[in-house]
């Protein structure tokens, strides 16, 4: 109790201060309290035994890993099961224990495997973990990673999303994990019985053996797709496994409807796929699933490089995919790779710049993945023959410095260098903090990043009177894009500003993709920064709940009407539908709409 009372009385805190305090007030046996134990105790005892009523400020003093929710939402990442992939990329890992391109010792992949790659188990367990260490989970962005999403069977896609939503809807009310686990344990028993008669029928054991061979550097006599098809896809080997992992659109829509008013709402849903898997039909399908953002593997904008790396598509496919996704209002989160076979430092810098110079692209977010040499990838053979080599530290620093400084302020660099365990990398860069290394280098030469992530307000306080609205405009091949942003002066650097909130407004220049979008401008994203505040909660001195979202919508209305559009559409997430209804939007088939009044210029 003395420990909690001391924390409750803090006005400003620092992680080291808490470390000192827990050592001062240990458990009876001498061990120190964990942050999870402190959070749990405070939630239980607040308002009792002399403690003041519950306060999120106290939780903030204790909270572990505050950066997790500092951007305004709680991200929950789940992985799909291992499944055949249409790609044959030479740089891609082939760990048959994982969905294509993922490795068994990556933290997120380990969580997925422990949970049978089940969406309900993964989602619920992740929510529980975040909540236990002090994070709010009222607003959740679901990030679905794994193989090529569009290549999975439709019934599996529907089931996977439906189960993610069911976990969100259940959280804090009921826990169905025991029933879900019972199904998998029953399946395991069936497989063990089958193994008694035919040992080769046990996919878990075969995957383990094959994975062990890969770790030891042996070359498997079958491709990744062949092994995965034999172990995980054939229904007769899984005792009805595929039948269990299937759902109908009606079942999904029922869970989506529940989530509109749930305590734990989905405010964004992300899938990842390949450019050559994007079509009009696919765009409609992922929108119907509730998707608002697509992660798409660009890798390179040079046809010869794509061909040498056996990517399986050309740049024209990427151009077409960007156009379809943008016309449908999706946020486009591109993956781009440096150091691919056939490229160079100079070519990489030019290739990256094309992402923003060419009107066919202009991604909203980016992951920059310099190529890593993984033993199970075909690239290993090229390396052994001297046909490819990883960049030196200095070469990689040159490329990434150019990338960061050439990224415009409307784009967010979500990751620089993939977080692959160093033990998996045969040769080349093994530092996962390369973004920090680049930023330190840029600071020395008087340069800096202007991307969204570098400018987020995060936990910094500001004066409301300092808030101002700015607009960044850029052209794409199919639209005029307006990036509306509320900013305040940076207290640490007077030459730049900090980002509080933004809205992406798309003004189409050509015929729209879907009939219901005809004549509409499109809000593709609204984001208000600052630590996650609860639904309906007002937090003084923070970006969230200062009405910035409503002000941005009003400005988007005015600008859309001024530019001659009759309607304003929004690609809303399932859990934000209520929010938009309160701001004058009505439900359409796949989007929400507002009828615009004529501007004075049109009268």
pLDDT tens digits, 137-148? 999 999 999 989
Q: Give a yes or no: residue 516 inside a domain.
A: yes
Q: What is the CATH number of the domain that holds 483?
A: 3.40.630.30
Q: Rg of the chain over CA atoms, in angstroms?
A: 25
Same domain, 300 and 412: yes
Same domain, 60 and 123: no
Same domain, 466 and 445: no
CB 576 within 8 A of CB 260: no
| DSSP H stretches of helix in 301-424 | 303-308, 315-327, 345-357, 379-384, 393-405
Same domain, 343 and 365: yes
Cα–Cα distance for residue pair 349/432, rounded to 1 Å? 21
Q: Give a yes or no: residue 280 inside a domain.
A: no
pTM as predicted: 0.86
**Which residues is 413 bridged to in the sheet?**
366
Cα–Cα distance for residue pair 280/272, rounded to 1 Å? 16
- Backbone φ and ψ of 211, nearest 5°: -65, -40
Same domain, 47 and 113: no
Which residues make Cβ contacts (< 8 Å) with residue 227, sequence separation at least 6?
A: 96, 207, 210, 220
C-alpha pair distances (Å), 313 with each of 65, 307, 319, 379: 40, 8, 11, 18
Same domain, 208 and 170: yes
CB 484 within 8 A of CB 502: yes
**Where does residue 386 rank: exposed (0-12), middle (13-18), buried (19+ CB within 10 A)?**
exposed
Q: Give a yes or no: residue 319 inside a domain.
A: no
| Residue at which a domain ends, from 403, 428, 454 | 454
CB 588 within 8 A of CB 569: yes
3-class SS letters over 211-241: HHHHHCCCCCCCCHHHHHHHHHHCHHHCCCH
CB 202 within 8 A of CB 194: yes
Its domain, for residue 118, covers 78-273
Same domain, 460 and 414: no
CB 565 within 8 A of CB 593: no
Same domain, 236 and 102: yes
**Which residues is 374 bridged to in the sheet?**
425
| Residue at which a domain ends, from 409, 431, 454 | 454
Same domain, 88 and 48: no
For the chain, the helix, strand and coil percentages under 3-state DSSP, each to the nearest 5: 45, 15, 40
Tokens representing residue 110 in the block? 């380990």
Q: Give a yes or no: residue 287 inside a domain.
A: no
Same domain, 133 and 226: yes
Across the chain, which has 603 residues, the per-10-residue mean pLDDT values are 49 55 59 58 56 56 50 88 92 91 89 94 96 90 95 95 98 96 84 55 51 48 81 54 85 98 97 96 97 98 98 98 97 98 98 98 97 94 97 97 97 94 92 94 93 89 90 98 96 85 96 91 92 50 73 97 97 98 97 83 45
Q: Give a yes or no: residue 321 inside a domain.
A: no
Same domain, 434 and 524: no
From the list 394, 375, 396, 371, the residue with the least C-alpha distance to 384 is 375
Which residues make Cβ contacts (< 8 Å) with residue 543, sequence separation at least 6?
A: 72, 457, 462, 486, 500, 501, 528, 529, 530
Place of tokens 């005809």: 518
**Which residues is 187 bridged to in the sheet?**
none
Say what the pLDDT of residue 529 is: 87
**E runs forming strands in 90-168:** 139-145
| Residue at which a domain ends, from 400, 420, 454 | 454
Q: Give a yes or no: residue 569 inside a domain.
A: yes
Say what the pLDDT of residue 35 is: 56
Cα–Cα distance for residue pair 203/191, rounded to 1 Å? 8
Q: Give a yes or no: residue 549 inside a domain.
A: yes
Q: Give a yes or no: residue 21 inside a domain.
A: yes
Same domain, 264 and 301: no
Tokens representing residue 8 in the block? 């409750």
| C-alpha triplet 445, 450, 451: angle, nearest 5° | 130
- How many separate domains does the chain show? 4
The secondary element (H helix, E strand) that includes residue 6 is helix 2-8
Cα–Cα distance for residue pair 65/123, rounded to 1 Å? 19
**Where does residue 239 rank: exposed (0-12), middle (13-18), buried (19+ CB within 10 A)?**
middle
Q: What SS3 class is residue 261?
A: coil
């Amino acid at each position: 109790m003395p420990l909690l009372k001391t924390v409750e009385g803090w006005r400003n805190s620092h992680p080291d201060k808490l470390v000192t305090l827990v050592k001062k007030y240990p458990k009876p046996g001498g061990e120190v309290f964990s942050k999870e134990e402190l959070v749990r105790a405070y939630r239980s005892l607040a308002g009792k035994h002399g403690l003041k009523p519950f306060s999120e400020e106290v939780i903030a003093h204790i909270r572990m890993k505050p950066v997790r929710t500092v951007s305004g939402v709680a991200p929950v990442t789940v992985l799909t099961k291992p499944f055949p992939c249409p790609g044959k990329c030479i740089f891609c890992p082939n760990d048959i224990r994982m969905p294509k391109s993922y490795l068994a010792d990556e933290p997120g992949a380990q969580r997925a495997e422990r949970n049978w790659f089940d969406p309900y188990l993964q989602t619920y367990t992740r929510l529980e973990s975040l909540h236990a260490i002090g994070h709010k989970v009222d607003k959740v962005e679901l990030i679905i990673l794994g193989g090529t999403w569009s290549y999975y069977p439709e019934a599996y896609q529907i089931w996977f999303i439906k189960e993610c939503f069911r976990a969100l809807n259940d959280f804090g009310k009921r826990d169905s994990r025991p029933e879900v686990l019972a199904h998998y344990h029953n399946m395991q028993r069936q497989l063990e019985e089958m193994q008694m008669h035919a040992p080769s029928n046990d996919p878990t054991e075969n995957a383990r053996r094959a994975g062990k061979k890969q770790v030891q550097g042996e070359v498997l006599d079958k491709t990744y797709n062949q092994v995965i098809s034999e172990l995980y896809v054939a229904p007769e080997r899984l005792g009805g496994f595929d039948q269990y992992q299937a759902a109908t659109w009606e079942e999904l829509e029922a869970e989506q409807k529940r989530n509109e008013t749930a305590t734990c709402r989905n405010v964004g849903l992300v899938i990842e796929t390949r450019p050559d898997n994007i079509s009009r039909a696919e765009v409609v399908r992922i929108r119907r699933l509730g998707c608002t953002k697509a992660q798409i593997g660009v890798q390179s904008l040079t046809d010869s490089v794509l061909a040498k790396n056996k990517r399986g598509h050309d740049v024209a496919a990427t151009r077409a995919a960007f156009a379809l996704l943008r016309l449908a209002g999706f946020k486009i989160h591109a993956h781009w790779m440096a150091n691919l076979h056939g490229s160079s430092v100079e070519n990489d810098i030019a290739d990256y710049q094309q992402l923003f110079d060419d009107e066919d692209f202009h991604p909203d977010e980016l992951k920059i993945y310099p190529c890593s040499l993984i033993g199970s990838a075909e690239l290993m053979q090229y390396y052994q023959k001297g046909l490819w080599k990883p960049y030196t530290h200095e070469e990689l620093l040159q490329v990434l410095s150019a990338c960061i400084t050439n990224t415009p302020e409307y784009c967010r660099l979500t990751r620089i260098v993939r977080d692959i365990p160093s033990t998996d990398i045969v040769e080349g860069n093994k530092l996962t903090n390369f973004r920090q290394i680049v930023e330190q280098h840029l600071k020395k030469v008087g340069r800096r990043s202007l991307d969204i992530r570098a400018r987020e307000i995060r936990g910094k306080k500001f004066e409301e009177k300092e808030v101002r609205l700015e607009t960044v405009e850029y052209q794409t091949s199919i639209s005029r894009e307006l990036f509306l942003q509320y900013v305040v002066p940076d207290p640490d650097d007077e030459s730049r500003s900090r980002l509080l909130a933004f809205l992406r407004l798309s003004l189409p220049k050509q015929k729209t993709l879907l009939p219901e979008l005809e004549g509409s401008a499109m809000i593709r994203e609204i984001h208000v920064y600052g630590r996650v505040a609860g639904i309906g909660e007002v937090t003084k001195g923070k970006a969230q709940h200062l009405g910035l979202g409503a002000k941005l919508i009003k400005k988007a209305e005015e600008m859309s009407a001024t530019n001659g559009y009759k309607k304003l559409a929004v690609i809303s997430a399932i859990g934000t539908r209520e929010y938009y209804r309160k701001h004058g939007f009505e439900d359409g088939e796949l989007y929400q709409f507002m009828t615009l009044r004529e501007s004075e210029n049109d009268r």
